[in-house]
Amino acid sequence: MKTEIYECDRCHKKAITSDEVYTLDLRAVKLEIISSVNLREKFTWSAEWCRACRTQIGVEELDKREGKPQVQIPVEPQPSLEDMVREIVRQELPNS
């Protein structure tokens, strides 16, 4: 039986189960450097990093799967029937 083990190249966290692989979220991080002396020379570096490592160095901006953070808008409480009747009575009756 074969077992695939996924590992981050930076922090060496490992994942075996599908839930662990989803949490680890390995993605390729690539860096290309072009020589300033000879523009034809190019150095390419590539590694598989987990989401935590990408976030730590600022490569991962926002988790696309979870979307934007939800903003909680405070909801004003609905006035009760008694409160509405009192307000109507105050408005209709003259000040005495």
What tens digit of pLDDT does each residue of 13-44 get?
Answer: 999 988 888 888 888 888 888 877 777 788 88
What does the pLDDT read at residue 60? Answer: 67
Q: Is residue 40 part of a domain?
A: yes
- As a whole number of angstroms, the distance between CA 89 and CA 95 comes to 11
**Residue 24's domain spans which residues?**
1-62
- pLDDT score for 66: 54
> pLDDT digit string (tens) for 37-76?
777 788 888 899 998 888 888 776 555 555 554 455 566 7
Answer whether residue 29 is part of any domain.
Answer: yes
Number of domains in the chain: 1
Angstrom distance (rounded) from CA 26 to CA 12: 11
Q: Within a domain: residue 76?
A: no
For residues 24 and 20, give the distance between their C-alpha atoms in angstroms, rounded to a whole number. 6
pLDDT in tens, 3-14: 889 999 999 999
Query: Two tokens at 30?
Result: 């690539």
